[in-house]
Structure 1
């Protein structure tokens, strides 16, 4: 560490601090400071390295015991709380030493160590606490898992019910569609049959009246129309005069008085 601030640093024993619950812990602390007013340091503390031996060190451990000693054995493992107490120690050291020309920049807890017996007890307690937390977590996990399974089962039942409703709706709509189509087809067939029956009725009525004889006469006229040359006797009882329609109707045994 040549040419660095570390070559001007000094080391002393670890601070022996009693926790608030009665156990002792050795704390390795780094105190960063600088000479703010050399005149005050020289006149109020002394020359040479007295600023350290008579200034910083005598006040450091009592203040560390006052601040860090407020922590319990387990709270030393709580980093945010430990830093908070270190900051309080820095403020107290600063307030006392700035008056003598020394400015405290930082108080850093680097390491702490309990006796082996205490450390063992702490570790055993931690293991027991972890086991308790583990059991509690497993119990909560079991409860949550059971709740999740219940929700899943309820969800499946709801889905099945809704699917059955959907299938029933589809079946009902298909049946309604088929019934509608059958009804419409039956109505259409009925209309066709009624129309055919009406056609037959009208045709029968037409054939039974005077229109039937007229139809026969017209058909005979069509027959005559298709002949190019015809030679018939025009005199006597069997004579045929195609221009005499009444006589022609009589010839074919059609009622008299139909054509005038």
Structure 2
């Protein structure tokens, strides 16, 4: 505790000469004031520096209220080195250890809970991912099937159109062959066969004589009727 004598005359007249200001002034007042203020702190709070400093300031103010009347001014109440009795210190350390164990157990329980929550989230995420993957595979399979169906449908329609066109071509060709002049066209086709011969020997006289220059005779030979004949 730091202090100074503010008014020596007042100290001499109220307390006495020499060191009586300590024996009869400061010491009798210091212990009750410190117990009144710092004694309100619990063992845990006593280790809390801000709370300890606050109570020391209260002790200083309380001392000055009494000592200022006797010419003494308390400047600071400093609590630097404090020591409990061995029994109290042992209890404090045991309680601190117990508190630490409680804190450790709570932290471990909280960590285990968070770990379990994390595992649950991961598992749920894996399940969701698996479901989405299966949905994706099903979507791809469905789209491939739709594409194949579309391709087969287009190909079938194209084949149908080709077959219809071929049938129409055959029909038109048959109709043309059955129409007027079809017999003549057959005869002309037969006559074109002469082009592929380098040399041909046929009788040119008689009832069955062949004269290539006589078209009417050639038509009659191949039984090709004239236009309008039936």
Q: Given the two structures, how large is their TM-score scaled by the length of structure 1?
A: 0.62
Q: Does 1:190 align with 2:174?
A: no
The structure with more helix, counted as a fraction of residues: 2
Q: Does 1:120 align with 2:86?
A: no
CA RMSD of superposed structures (Å): 4.1
Secondary structure class of the residue paired with 1:110:
coil
CA distance in 1, matches of 2:64, 2:146: 94
Q: Does 1:84 align with 2:54?
A: yes
After TM superposition, give the deviation of residue 181 of structure 1 in Å.
0.9
* Gap runs ≥5 in structure 1: 1-29, 224-236
* Gap runs ≥5 in structure 2: 194-206
Secondary structure class of the residue paired with 1:109:
coil
Q: Does 1:152 align with 2:122?
A: yes
The structure with more strand, counted as a fraction of residues: 1
1:45 aligns with 11
2:108 to 132, 138, 145: 138
2:138 aligns with 168
Greater displacement, 55-64 / 162-171 = 55-64
Instruction: Tell me if structure 2 keeps the 8 A contact 1:41–1:51.
Output: no
CA distance in 2, matches of 1:64, 1:96: 13
Q: Does 1:204 align with 2:174?
A: yes
Secondary structure class of the residue paired with 2:79:
strand
1:107 to 46, 70, 77: 77
After TM superposition, give the deviation of residue 72 of structure 1 in Å.
2.2
CA distance in 1, matches of 2:17, 2:155: 122
Change (3 A) 1:114 1:203: same
1:62 to 32, 35, 51: 32
CA distance in 2, matches of 1:158, 1:123: 51
